[in-house]
Structure 1
Amino acid sequence: MSATKRQAAEIWESLFTFTEITPPRTAIAQFSAFLDFRIVDIEDVEVAAMAERVGLVVTDTLRKIRHNVTREFLVEPGLDPASLSRQGSQIAVGKRQHLDFAGASGMPQRVPVNRALRSLLGRLMKAFAERLFLFEGRLAHVACQVYERIATSDDGTRLRVESVRSVEYSTAAVDTAKVRWIVSRLEHGRHVRTIVMVRNTDVGAYLSARCAAAGVACVRLWGEMGDSERRNAIARLRNGSVRVAIVNRNMGGRGFDLPFIDEAIFVSPKSSHEAMWQEALRIRSTRKRVKPAFVLVFRRTEESDKCARLLQSIEANPKEFSAKVTKVSAEGSE
């Protein structure tokens, strides 16, 4: 503080008497943020089958990326798909012209990106994006043209593996076991004010239509809607004329909070525990009034592994993220 500011502050401080108050720790703790994460395992045979096909595309693409660089076609390519996808995104927009590649010694090597490698990275990023669509309920069909190829295992054994010649994705919001679970829960909990968090606007529109068909009145909130329309929707939710809101997860940024909501439903988990925590706290759950946040996860898919990593991150930081985590069956949570 500058001398001028200090002198001005002293004049005001002389007019008041300040008494330091230390409230009981228990009085403060009850209002601290606390979440009740309920992980709901959802079984969907069709989704699991499509996830397996997308997984084959990812594995085959990793094998071909390694083959492009080292001329080895391996059963286990030993590459980090997430890292390659991130680098591919930078290459696609011209921010880099090389690939940091793990060599046989484990040391990274810088590889120039040729046309074939650029195409393979694009295929990998596409598979990652479509897998997210699948878990959200936005992938209708995956068609792969598959053939067999010889690959080498770690011990030098040559094995036949499936390889993908071509793949086609059909993207549209579709009926999944997650959608059916959400509609069923909303039907049976009409007295509970609920927000359903989705990533995509078309999934939100589809889910809203399914709710309407089941007789569940709801409003939709998404980033592109007008201010007056948004205020009207929130007012209807606050006064209880509707009890369900379908909300795009990027809606309103950090300042968008709905403390009058009783529970949240996430159609899918996020990778970032900070982002997941921030979004779940939109309903202002505290130790005094704990509110459930249901996170829907497709069983027997990569989404289960993704959710496990998310929970590990949350549980590893108990001081920063105060939460109770329980796993419930789709039937037992309704």
Structure 2
Amino acid sequence: MTDDALPIHPALASALEAKGYNQLTPVQMEMANGGHGEADLLVSAQTGSGKTVAFGIAIASTLLGRAERFPAAGRPLGLIIAPTRELAIQVQRELDWLYAAAEVRIATCVGGMDMRRERRALDSGAHLVVGTPGRLRDHISKGALDLGALRAVVLDEADEMLDLGFRDDLEFILGAAPDERRTLLFSATVPRGIAELARNFQKDAVRIAATASTEQHADIEYQVMLVRRDEREHAVINTLLDSGSASALVFCHTREAVRHLTARLANRGFSVVSLSGEMAQSERSNALQSMRDGRAHVCVATDVAARGIDLPNLDLVIHADVPSNPATLLHRSGRTGRAGRKGVCVLIVPETRRGAAQRVLALAKLSATMRGAPSIAEIETRYRTQILDAALVAAEPDEAEAAFVAELLTKASPERIATAFLRQQLSVRPVPEDLLPLPVHDMQARKPKRDKENRERGIDERRDAEPRRPDMEGGVWFTLSLGRKQRADPKWLLPMICRAGGVSKRDVGSIRIDDMETRFEISADKAAGFREQISQPGSLERGIVIAPAGEARETSWRAKPKFGKRAKPEFNKGGKPGKKPAHRGQAAPADRDRKHKGKPKRPG
């Protein structure tokens, strides 16, 4: 260690130095020199800040006293509780090397593992026990785990354990532990549930905030990638191809989404594994090991399955689904940018979810840069650079290769050999997806409601929803007799325009909604056919008028009313054209017939 003044237990100092810990993280520094003695601690620190080593440092004096080695293993002296199997196993690995010089024996008790083997390990004695709440409660209930000698209890990711419904299990375990013990709660956030747990099971706990909220994830660059609704998976593929990251983690909301995206990436040639709650423990362990040893480069996971895992060299996190709350965003993103390493976090945001992404980032007090999805041209440029670099760094042929290289050059030209190399290199790289670009705007610039300036000049409301065709120059403008006063919205105007004129979405350019009408642009090559199509009766609902811009309303085509004179367009409750509902307290026509007083008049 660089700072010999830090009061780290001698049994741990050598292990930290051998591991290369030249500088402690803020939470580790707080545990080392905070002077908290044997007090209970309630610690909030960001994910990936080195909490395992931090609480290992904090409880060393409690477990060892002044001794440099543990006595013979018997009943456990320390208990660490984690929310998931992966995190518990990861904690066990970290404490193994941290307490190696103290000759520690650690037993793990996690769901999905052989309970009989765990019982044998407990019977043979352990200094520390690391486990998940449900399995620890089972061992305590069956008498396999005796907490009578316990000196310290650590709850890691305490907020997550409450979110997963482990409150009853935690209260049972803490109730079974001796009253004279030290209790440490480590949590990314301190919601009300954690505060209540601290009041009930800690004694005058010292509250420690290792990092200020404004410093959260300082080593992570956040990016928001706006895409069309139906191109979210394409954007994930292109982001992976464009990043060049050695290891990436992709988050989805559901197990089904994980299965689907994993299959999609595997079909495209990615070395990919998945993590979800439905997988057996052996499958999850194999998936994580594949990421650690480099056999897999992409892991697709649900939030719970990836909770607390630490993957080496993970420099990219992709949110394929927009996080539902700031805590989820912070926990997901915290898989990268750990312990001083830099990382990138990309939120794939469909245009309809832009506001949700903005709210989550604001609540998490994070700022993000806006970017478009990587294009085929950008990815192919990266490919060419990589292929050229591979050729330039290749060593000169040795004696065994020289003869065959000379033979190749006599039978094939350098151009053909280079072409074969190029094709071979491209064949092992996934083909990028073709995405239609969306304009990138600052998220703060898009407001939920239109301001007065936009109302006056008629904002182009479709530019954030549909890309404009590059050949739209020379397009023909039309008007539609619905405007802002009729709650016109591009979401349902666009399908109406396409159906009425027999065109596709790409044939429609800008849509500009004014107070009483909407102006829209049709590509030049489709304008004549569009005009012909809208002149046919029945192509629009009654009372709605489409006409080329600039024509007098009296000479334009009108949708023919079904009954007598031209009727005004009718709107349902949602503001869309449709059947006009009966007014409150007014019977529908059929009801009025039934309520007619007197006998019905006979025909004739």
TM, length-normalised to structure 1: 0.45
> Which structure has greater strand proportion?
1
TM, length-normalised to structure 2: 0.26
Flag the structure with larger Rg: 2
